[in-house]
Structure 1
């Protein structure tokens, strides 16, 4: 709590200082818009948006717009400002707003989506992939242009004392003028854990700055991660949850009393991530076609852009184990002596240079065209052995370089058709021969006085497995292997009819050489005069499935409204052709029934309801605490989880700039029979009351 108070004080002081910065010629709130590769804003008709409007200087100007950028070229995508009441109660759910994630129960714990089409490719920053609930990448950073200094403070709370959880988020943005802005974001999550030795302490913060001029555009961010997670290896027996009457004296234990596998194991990741993308535009000025804009008599029309992007990632992962006796009985291998520290480091530096011919500078330029070249330097530091003395351990660097070239064809302007096709191939280095072609597009047309939108995305990828699939040395797992490239082909379409509140999505993917972590635990049998005891010592290996695996997925989102009564529904069906290698639940469901109304002349907006998440039983991936990753269950001991409706009741309130929620989590807590698990041996938190508060400031 002292850290939270200190951070809050820092924000308030920063806000007062920033308030002295002159804010002038800021823009009004944007409607529907898109952004060109030049960084300027355009409406759906392809006309530039006026960003110079001002309001009465006698009042505090309120108005802001936000956007994100892509990591390769810095292309801008407008995003809505997070001020909505809807679903506020689910913004702090590790399982995702509609329950699509398998996770370890506690706030901020590692997770993986059980909806396959939502899974991302493993990254070279392997160890932080499961923490995407809080970890941010440069393309997740939200930049804001605001008429006055803008701050948001958000606080989440559940329980107190030894087993409570808290999360504090702060966002601040200010403009020096209409083109230059900067700010920062802080996210601190502390989940003490309802079960023993399960705590999460996750700090994520970023600084950002941007300049959006006619000829020069720049976006910069610096992100820091500090993630410390206690690993308990799951509860020792699932019957403590599913059939407590069969355990011990038959008395149901509190969550904090249930035995777990580990007491003194931690994973600690520390990361620093710098990002800069900037471009210089060549073009010309012409008369402004907007006769209502009396300020800008001329507008700049960019023709060609020279682009440079720099991305630097540093990460240090430390595995801490202080219970060597337990390790000897749980793990098959113990490669390092107790006094050896298990540390892995990564340094990745990527530079991209691009030359772009921009869309829309004349009537014949119907699309933009970009060519680019990139170089990526990677250095991985791991524990290794000395050939003459295998018992001695040293730190060894593994260095990789990759040179790639590619191109992009993009159309963003206009009302009807938009598309983006990007291709890249590795010409030199570790990933030579790797290539990927990705395309997205949308078609918009009128039907029965409504807008229908057809979207499509497709890709073909031939990817070299990331470094830690090919090499990994640690206290309990050790491998070096030559793997084939992974071939992935996907095509997916989406139909949206806004008036009917309907979204239908369907797609299919084929994977060759699917690469995954497999459970190779070793079985031990001990016989005494009293009984025979069977144990499995944990071990892992990386496998490749040489054949093809097909995944079919279809999702329907249909919302209904009758006066103040709302019912929102999402149904996702998916099928894996090989459930032994790539298990997936057949169905994932989300339903939300609520009342939405206003009080006090509709100044106070209210949502009152309950939602339910459900997925059918399947062989959900297990979790390996010594590597911090999900992997296949042991085929000899595997069992299915799922089939449990997670029900939450909630109240949302929105008064002017303030949002509040109360949420009763896991309302039925096992009353439907079975256990409340999303991952094997890791139960969800029991029934509890959650609270959240978000407050916006414009001064």
Structure 2
């Protein structure tokens, strides 16, 4: 906590120092929402979600940048009060994720259409709760320095969980700005040997000129996670009376686990720079209620360059005590306690863009681009003639691809974005992607109705770590994997006035590539003890087609101060042995929303529930930090447990506070509150959170 206090003090001092410099350039910030900020449909942007618009000063707005071509997308300022209590939930704000119980633990969505394909940064994919990519970095332009400090706390000091977040943005002038973002998560864990210590930080800078634009960010990840392999016997949770032998009551941290003294440690460094030079002309524009016109630059053609460098290092640490040796089927590295895997990628993209509306060849925006990527992977390998010796070996891959984009963003009625790319040379030769999205907006019964559609066809090379992986406990070289063909079509209907959103889609996958459970039974189950097995993981491909259908309805109701928010997802997999999914995923939130003290204090108080139907939820492989299919000989279904949380949210001017009681009904029924096999959720626990915004 001393480090957090020092860091907070430095941020506030920076805020004050830069505030003296920038306010003199822009003038003092005024209260009230910026009436000139509208979305692309012409509707005012709601960045507060509360009635008091004075929480956002004039001249403050934020955006994100596309990794490929540097296109920007505006994003709301983080001042949202509604559901603030769920912003620190590893299971997601509406409970869509399977995870290991602890704060910041690895996770995977049990809603299929929310899952991301495995990436080359394989080992940090399950940590998307805290890990950011270049396209997730938020840039902010502000007339006066903006700072957000957020602190979360749950449980006691010895077994509690904490998270500290800080965001700072400042402008040197109206074109040049910079800032940083820090996220530190420390979950000690309610169960033994499951602590998480996750640090993520990024620095960003930008320049938005008439002819030259630049966006830069640098991200550092440092993720250290203890692996316990889950409970050695689920009955410590499901049937505790059977386990205490009439003498002892087990606390959660006294329950025996399968593993100890094992860690996965991932470190990453990521640099991103995109820049473009614009050709165009200046035109005179006269603002409303102003008799003086000013020159405004209109870009016509842009030359684009983007470079992205990623370096990841994964270290697996395992001490060879008897318990750990009994858990795994193989031990390829003998007495070595660590194995290390590294990944380096350098990707350059160049392009030329004919801007929308200013070229007779392209009424929409038209961009052509080429990308060259160099990848290097370092694995452990054997030494010829020395069976017991090991050495690092590099695998190098180079890929040249070309592509194009057709985009229409102007206007209020119709927008679309179509992009295609194909690999011409290198390891991924023949890989291609065609993806598009669009929206149509029209009036119906005095309301705006929005139809969104997106679709893609992808022919993807399986990632490197599906093709090659060498480690202490898992080892494979799959040189015969076929490309994965994926086809998806999805649509969404939104009617804001009715608070209704309906989406549906279908995907077909050929050569679905996944991690399978190749564990071997060590001892058979008896009446008093479950079966034990030797853990092993392999990569498999399903050559037959797999179809997934999914539909989601979001419908909110309001009666005075009483609110009921609802989300229902139905999904169906054609092969539940290879790709198991719960058929129903539900979220409901019943709460009161009202204001006190002359509407200065906004209050939300209520309870929400997360629920999914039983299915063969994915198992977790601690030696690789990934989720995989359960062993068919020992698999069992999870789900059917309503996770209920009660809460109260307070919003006072620039401060948000919540108090939440997590897992209210813990202790009922058989206490089967598992999301992943052998990894129970935290028991009932009190959570707190507070967030401050500073605009000067």
TM class by shorter chain equals over 0.9
**Cα 1:527–1:253 shift into 2, 3 Å:** closer
Selected match of 2:231 from 228, 235, 239: 235
Selected match of 2:157 from 140, 161, 164: 161
Q: Where does residue 504 of structure 1 map in the other structure? A: 502
Selected match of 2:192 from 196, 199, 215: 196
Taking the aligned partners of 2:218 and 2:323, their CA distance within structure 1 comes to 40
Q: Deviations over 1:449-489 (max 9, x none)?
A: 00000000000000000000000000000000121000000
Taking the aligned partners of 2:133 and 2:291, their CA distance within structure 1 comes to 40
Matches within 5 A, 1:430-579: 430-482=427-479, 483-525=481-523, 535-579=532-576
Question: What secondary structure sits across from 2:13 in the alignment?
Answer: helix
TM, length-normalised to structure 2: 0.94
**Cα 1:161–1:25 shift into 2, 3 Å:** closer
Q: Deviations over 1:374-421 (max 9, x none)?
A: 001101111111121121000111110000000000000000000000
Selected match of 1:29 from 19, 28, 34: 34
Q: Deviations over 1:316-361 (max 9, x none)?
A: 1000112432232111100002235300011111000010000023
Q: Where does residue 215 of structure 2 map in the other structure? A: 219
Question: What secondary structure sits across from 2:494 in the alignment?
Answer: strand
Q: Deviations over 1:261-285 (max 9, x none)?
A: 1110000001000000110000011
| Matching of residue 687 in structure 1 with residue 684 in structure 2 | yes
Is the 2:286–2:293 contact (alpha carbons within 8 Å) kept by the matching residues of 1? no
Q: Which moved more, 1:480-489 or 1:296-305?
A: 296-305
Taking the aligned partners of 1:161 and 1:533, their CA distance within structure 2 comes to 34
Q: Which moved more, 1:401-410 or 1:9-18?
A: 9-18
Taking the aligned partners of 2:95 and 2:695, their CA distance within structure 1 comes to 34
Q: Where does residue 613 of structure 2 map in the other structure? A: 616
Runs of 4+ in 1 over 6 A off after TM superposition: 530-533
Q: Deviations over 1:41-73 (max 9, x none)?
A: xx5469xx9xxxxxxxxxx96541011111011
Taking the aligned partners of 2:92 and 2:35, their CA distance within structure 1 comes to 29
| Matching of residue 649 in structure 1 with residue 646 in structure 2 | yes
**Cα 1:532–1:186 shift into 2, 3 Å:** closer
| Matching of residue 583 in structure 1 with residue 588 in structure 2 | no
Q: Where does residue 103 of structure 2 map in the other structure? A: 107
Is the 1:409–1:420 contact (alpha carbons within 8 Å) kept by the matching residues of 2? yes
**Cα 1:196–1:296 shift into 2, 3 Å:** farther
Taking the aligned partners of 2:276 and 2:668, their CA distance within structure 1 comes to 59
Is the 1:30–1:65 contact (alpha carbons within 8 Å) kept by the matching residues of 2? no
Taking the aligned partners of 1:689 and 1:680, their CA distance within structure 2 comes to 25
Q: Where does residue 695 of structure 2 map in the other structure? A: 698
Taking the aligned partners of 1:294 and 1:307, their CA distance within structure 2 comes to 37
Question: What secondary structure sits across from 2:8 in the alignment?
Answer: helix
| Matching of residue 143 in structure 1 with residue 139 in structure 2 | yes
Selected match of 1:209 from 189, 205, 211: 205
Selected match of 1:71 from 61, 67, 71: 67
Q: Where does residue 85 of structure 1 map in the other structure? A: 81
**Cα 1:45–1:229 shift into 2, 3 Å:** closer
Taking the aligned partners of 2:109 and 2:523, their CA distance within structure 1 comes to 35
Selected match of 2:603 from 597, 602, 606: 606
Is the 1:62–1:698 contact (alpha carbons within 8 Å) kept by the matching residues of 2? no
Taking the aligned partners of 2:57 and 2:587, their CA distance within structure 1 comes to 40
Q: Where does residue 4 of structure 1 map in the other structure? A: 4
Cα offset, 1:248, TM superposition: 3.5
Is the 1:670–1:676 contact (alpha carbons within 8 Å) kept by the matching residues of 2? no
Is the 1:504–1:556 contact (alpha carbons within 8 Å) kept by the matching residues of 2? yes
Cα offset, 1:176, TM superposition: 1.1
**Cα 1:537–1:697 shift into 2, 3 Å:** same
**Cα 1:137–1:293 shift into 2, 3 Å:** farther
Cα offset, 1:531, TM superposition: 11
Taking the aligned partners of 1:626 and 1:656, their CA distance within structure 2 comes to 47
Q: Where does residue 179 of structure 2 map in the other structure? A: 183
**Cα 1:573–1:532 shift into 2, 3 Å:** closer
Q: Which moved more, 1:543-552 or 1:253-262?
A: 253-262
**Cα 1:493–1:252 shift into 2, 3 Å:** farther
Is the 1:421–1:437 contact (alpha carbons within 8 Å) kept by the matching residues of 2? yes
Matches within 5 A, 1:386-401: 386-401=383-398
**Cα 1:512–1:7 shift into 2, 3 Å:** same
Q: Which moved more, 1:188-197 or 1:355-364?
A: 355-364
Q: Where does residue 48 of structure 2 map in the other structure? A: none
Cα offset, 1:253, TM superposition: 1.9
Is the 1:72–1:352 contact (alpha carbons within 8 Å) kept by the matching residues of 2? yes
**Cα 1:219–1:294 shift into 2, 3 Å:** farther
Q: Where does residue 52 of structure 1 map in the other structure? A: none
**Cα 1:61–1:451 shift into 2, 3 Å:** closer
Q: Where does residue 625 of structure 1 map in the other structure? A: 622
Gaps (5+ residues) in structure 1?
Answer: 35-42, 50-59
Is the 1:324–1:338 contact (alpha carbons within 8 Å) kept by the matching residues of 2? no
Taking the aligned partners of 1:195 and 1:370, their CA distance within structure 2 comes to 53
Question: What secondary structure sits across from 1:256 in the alignment?
Answer: helix
Cα offset, 1:574, TM superposition: 0.2
Is the 1:525–1:532 contact (alpha carbons within 8 Å) kept by the matching residues of 2? no
Matches within 5 A, 1:260-409: 260-288=257-285, 290-292=287-289, 297-339=294-336, 341-361=338-358, 366-409=363-406
Taking the aligned partners of 1:145 and 1:7, their CA distance within structure 2 comes to 23
Cα offset, 1:12, TM superposition: 2.0
Q: Where does residue 17 of structure 1 map in the other structure? A: 17
Is the 2:22–2:144 contact (alpha carbons within 8 Å) kept by the matching residues of 1? no
Is the 2:644–2:663 contact (alpha carbons within 8 Å) kept by the matching residues of 1? yes
Question: What secondary structure sits across from 1:189 in the alignment?
Answer: strand
Is the 1:463–1:487 contact (alpha carbons within 8 Å) kept by the matching residues of 2? yes
Is the 2:319–2:337 contact (alpha carbons within 8 Å) kept by the matching residues of 1? no
Question: What secondary structure sits across from 1:373 in the alignment?
Answer: strand
**Cα 1:329–1:684 shift into 2, 3 Å:** same
Selected match of 1:425 from 409, 422, 425: 422
Is the 1:557–1:569 contact (alpha carbons within 8 Å) kept by the matching residues of 2? yes
